Structure 1
Amino acid sequence: MKFSKATNYALHTMLFLASSKNSKPIGVQVLAEKQSVSPTYLSKILTKLVKEGMITSVSGANGGYSLSHGWESISFLDIIQAIEGKSSLFDCYDHGPECPIRKVMLSSEEKMEEELRRRTIADLV
C-alpha cells in the first residue's frame, strides 16, 4: 500500500504551516522550496486543500497560504482524503459482498482509517 507523493507533500505542507511562527500567509515558492518540489505541482495540491477548507489563500504580492480557523481538528485522514479521494483502497469487483478476502481487507482499512482519523497535525506541533 502506498499513498501518492501528493499526499506526502500535503501532509508536510500542513505540518509546516502549523509549525510556522509567521502569522502572515506563506507563499507557494517558500512552501515548495521547503520540500524541494515544483511550485506548480505544489499549487495543484494546495488548491485541493483550499477547496476542502483546510487552508486559505490570499492573492497578491503579500499573498500565500495559511491554515484555516479550526485547523487543530483536521485529521490525517481528512488531508489524505482531500488528495486521494474517499474510495476504498481495496475493491473486490467480481466476488460479491460476501467475499471473505473483501471482509478482511475492509476491516483492516477501517482500522487504519480509525487511527488516521484520531491523529491530527496539531498532535505533531
Structure 2
Amino acid sequence: MKISTKGRYGLTIMMELAAKFGEGPISLKSIAEKNNLSEHYLEQLIAPLRNAGLVKSVRGAYGGYILSKEPDTISSGDVIRILEGPISPVDFTEEDDPAKRDLWLRIRDSIAGVLDSTTLSDLIHFKGADKLDNYMFYI
C-alpha cells in the first residue's frame, strides 16, 4: 500500500491543527505557506476531514480550521482512511490461496495497528533523533 499525497498532506494539515490546538483557528493559507503546499489542494482535502467530523471550520476575518477533538483522540489511521479509503496492501478474492490471503491480512492488520495506535499528539511530539540513535548502520 502506498500512501498518496492526499494522505500525506492530510496528515500535514491535521498535525498543524494539532500543534495549535486550543489557540484558535488556523487558515489553510498559513498551513500551505509553512509547508510549501498548494492551498487549493489543501482545500480539497479539508472537506472530507470536515465532513467526517475531525475538523470544524470557523468563519470570519480570523477564521480557519480547528480540530473537533483532542489531538490524542485522533489517530493517523482515522485520517488515512478518510482520505485514502480502506487500508489494504492488495485486492484479493475468496479464491486466492489461503496462505497468501493470510499474509495479506496480516500485513493489512500490522499497517492498521501502527496507524491506529499513532495519534496526532504522538506525531507532533515525536523526537526522531532520539529514536534513530538506537540504531547502528554498517555499510
1:14 and 2:10 equivalent? no
Q: SS of the counterpart of 2:103?
A: helix
Q: SS of the counterpart of 2:56?
A: strand
Distance 1:21 1:3, change over 3 A: closer
> In the aligned structure 1, how far is the partner of 2:71 from the partner of 2:19?
12
Report the TM-score when normalising by structure 2: 0.79
**Residue correspondences, number:** 124
RMSD: 1.9
- Equivalent residue for 2:67? 67
Deviations 1:66-103 (A, max 9, x none): 1113332111111110100125331124x615542222
Amino acid at match of 1:19: A
Q: Provide runs of 4+ in structure 1 moved above 4 Å.
A: none
Larger Rg computed on CA atoms:
2
Report the TM-score when normalising by structure 1: 0.87
Amino acid at match of 1:45: L
Distance 1:57 1:21, change over 3 A: closer
Unaligned segments of structure 2, at least 5 residues: 126-139
User: How many percent of aligned residue pairs carry the same amino acid?
Assistant: 33
Shift of 1:120: 0.6
Shift of 1:4: 0.5
Unaligned segments of structure 1, at least 5 residues: none
